[in-house]
């Protein structure tokens, strides 16, 4: 690994995709069920790769080709070596909902005073985490590493790669039940981050209002935030308007986020900022300036229709939180809700419960996209796919009011924004 690390230090960066490879980068030939990166080794050299890491023999004598037993494992080991060599402070976060938004909020706060690197997009898996670590520079003071998982053991692996100094779990929710089996399975799998931090006496930030979170930390002393007086960073939340505000340390922070669930994400960022020396004034400015995008709680105005686009992902927990917040909105309320994926045997029950809740709520009108809803809703409000929904809303105006659009990523509900009126 020392020889490979020396090559990496002289390279322009790391790539795993010849389509985006830049000259001077180190190329790792990764393979999966439907692709074999080793087949692109020579193409990577032609595009200017400094060296290519392969784990299958290919007919070449080019000394820029480096043969290893496992390219993915070599990538992960290189990332750990780089993280260790730099000694950068690493903050890891995971959770069922709000990971990426919380990561972005933390980054917005910390980057004002510290040289900060954060996971790009949602590159939070066994490949994305190493790539984030390998993007750290000598001048980087803190790295924010998002960790995602849909099976037990994955967070433990990512923690062993990143070796975080501190961490946060946003919540435990009904996400990826197909892989985790149950909510208790989610708790156990996500808590693998806590297990690592406990074993290394790392710092844990925790939502004091979340009983499931606190139950995992009975023998630990986390830095807490919340709306209960016992929280070390106590805040009052004002959700009377379209966007939430926090009252903390006698300062009002008016965010551009909607939903009480986002108040906790913002409060986590504020707490972490204070721990790492960011002033209240700086945190206030950063949190107030943050505008959600990429289909996450994104606010869009179409004439007199106020749209909340939250179509990046959905599971029963995040759907419930979004709907409960949306139901408090004044005036006419309309919801277009997409199917929730990866629920396995729990899918039918969860979708039926969702339909029943919405129908009994203060939401005035609602539409459903995805086969999981078909048995529980009327045909005139149901679309099997996004194309059917787009065709309907292109010729049928929604009118004035507030609209929530939320569903799993695969349904691409954001496409509706172009046609609704």
**Percent residues over pLDDT 70 in the chain:** 98
Q: Give 40-64 as a 3 state SS string.
A: HHHHHHHCCCCEEEECCCCCCCCCC
Domain with CATH 3.90.190.20 in the chain: 298-418
Class of domain 2-70: alpha beta
How confident is the prediction for the chain on average, in pLDDT?
Answer: 93
Indicate whether 269 pLDDT > 90: yes
Domain with CATH 3.40.1190.10 in the chain: 87-289
Mean pLDDT of 361-370: 96
- 87-289 CATH fold: 3.40.1190
pTM for the full predicted model? 0.83
pLDDT tens digits for 102-140?
999 999 999 999 999 999 987 899 999 999 999 999 999
pLDDT tens digits for 187-212?
888 999 999 999 999 999 999 999 99
pLDDT tens digits for 282-305?
999 999 999 987 767 788 888 889
Burial (Cβ within 10 Å: 0-12, 13-18, ≥19) of residue 249: middle
The predicted structure's pLDDT at residue 89: 98
Q: Pick one of 1.10.8.80, 2.60.40.10, 3.40.640.10, 3.90.190.20 as the CATH number of 298-418.
A: 3.90.190.20
Q: Which phi-psi region, left, alpha or beta, contains residue 232 (left: φ > 0; alpha: ψ -120 to 50)?
A: alpha
**Percent residues over pLDDT 90 in the chain:** 78
Domain with CATH 3.40.1390.10 in the chain: 2-70
């Amino acid at each position: 690994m020392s020889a490979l690390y020396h090559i990496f230090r002289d390279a322009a960066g790391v790539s795993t995709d010849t389509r985006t490879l830049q000259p001077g980068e180190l190329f790792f030939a990764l393979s999966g069920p439907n692709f074999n990166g080793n087949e692109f080794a020579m193409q990577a050299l032609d595009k200017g790769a400094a060296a290519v890491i392969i784990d299958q023999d290919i007919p070449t004598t080019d000394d820029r080709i480096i043969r290893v037993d496992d390219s993915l494992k070599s990538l992960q080991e290189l990332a750990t070596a780089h993280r260790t060599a730099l000694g950068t402070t690493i903050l890891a976060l995971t959770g069922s909902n709000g990971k990426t938004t919380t990561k972005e909020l933390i980054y917005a706060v910390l980057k004002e005073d510290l040289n900060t690197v954060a996971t790009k997009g949602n590159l939070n898996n066994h490949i994305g985490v190493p790539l984030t670590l390998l993007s750290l520079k000598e001048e980087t003071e803190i790295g924010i590493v998002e960790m995602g998982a849909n099976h037990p053991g994955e967070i433990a692996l990512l923690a062993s790669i990143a070796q975080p100094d501190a961490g946060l779990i946003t919540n435990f929710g009904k996400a990826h039940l197909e892989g985790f089996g149950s909510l208790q399975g989610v708790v156990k799998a996500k808590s693998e981050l806590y297990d690592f931090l406990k074993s290394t006496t790392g710092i844990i930030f925790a939502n004091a209002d979340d009983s499931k979170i606190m139950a995992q930390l009975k023998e630990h002393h986390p830095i807490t935030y919340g709306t209960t007086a016992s929280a070390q960073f106590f805040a009052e939340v004002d959700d009377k308007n379209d966007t939430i505000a926090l009252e903390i340390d006698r300062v009002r922070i008016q965010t551009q986020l909607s939903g009480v669930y986002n108040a906790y994400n913002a409060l986590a960022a504020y707490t972490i900022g204070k721990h790492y020396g960011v002033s209240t004034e700086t945190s206030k400015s950063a949190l107030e300036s943050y505008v959600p995008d990429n289909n996450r709680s994104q606010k869009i105005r179409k004439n007199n229709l106020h749209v909340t686009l939250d179509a990046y992902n959905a599971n029963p927990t995040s759907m419930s939180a979004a709907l409960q917040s949306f139901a408090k909105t004044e005036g006419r309320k309309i919801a277009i809700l997409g199917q929730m994926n990866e629920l396995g045997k729990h899918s039918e029950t969860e979708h039926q419960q969702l339909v029943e809740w919405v129908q009994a709520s203060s939401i005035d009108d609602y539409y459903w996209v995805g086969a999981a809803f078909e048995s529980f809703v009327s045909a005139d409000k149901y679309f099997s796919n996004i194309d059917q929904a787009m065709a309907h809303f292109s010729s049928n105006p929604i009118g004035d009011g507030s609209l929530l659009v939320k569903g799993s990523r695969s349904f691409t509900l954001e496409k509706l924004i172009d046609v609704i009126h």
